[in-house]
């Protein structure tokens, strides 16, 4: 599992339309983040289950170690502004 206590990690899986939507929206923000495919990383899948009531709900995102299950881009960016503002460029 990839853990980033200072950054953003997006846990996703192939074929997930919600993951694709979130990552597409993030393209326009210049937010730096790490993607982890839970189908390729069993530890990441276990982590997602641990914060999503036993489900593999994706996207699950951590912002400076704080988990968010299926956040909107707006909620994710608000969490970044609060917990990891150094990841945003001046234009965000």
Q: What is the pLDDT of residues 32-60, one digit of tens each?
A: 899 999 999 999 999 999 999 999 999 99
Let me know if residue 91 belongs to a domain.
Answer: no
For residue 1, the model assigns a pLDDT of 56
Let me know if residue 92 belongs to a domain.
Answer: no
What is the span of the domain harbouring residue 80? 8-85
What's the distance, Cα to Cα, between the start and end of the chain in Å? 28
Query: Which position has the higher pLDDT, 70 or 88?
Result: 70
Let me know if residue 1 belongs to a domain.
Answer: no
Residues whose CB falls within 8 Å of the CB of residue 34, separated by 6 or more in sequence, listed in order? 2, 4, 7, 8, 9, 10
Q: Are strands 34-37 and 60-63 parallel, antiparallel or unpaired?
A: unpaired
Residue 7, helix vs strand vs coil: coil
Residues whose CB falls within 8 Å of the CB of residue 48, separated by 6 or more in sequence, listed in order? 11, 38, 55, 56, 57, 58, 60
The total of structural domains in the chain comes to 1
């Amino acid at each position: 599992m990839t853990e980033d206590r200072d950054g953003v990690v997006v846990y996703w899986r192939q074929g997930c339309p919600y993951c694709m939507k979130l990552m597409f929206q993030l393209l326009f923000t210049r937010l730096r983040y790490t993607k982890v495919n839970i189908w390729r990383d069993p530890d990441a899948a276990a982590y997602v289950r641990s914060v999503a009531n036993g489900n593999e709900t994706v996207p699950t995102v951590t912002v400076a170690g704080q988990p968010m299950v299926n956040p909107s881009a707006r909620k994710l960016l608000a969490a970044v502004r609060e917990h990891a503002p150094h990841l945003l460029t001046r234009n965000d």
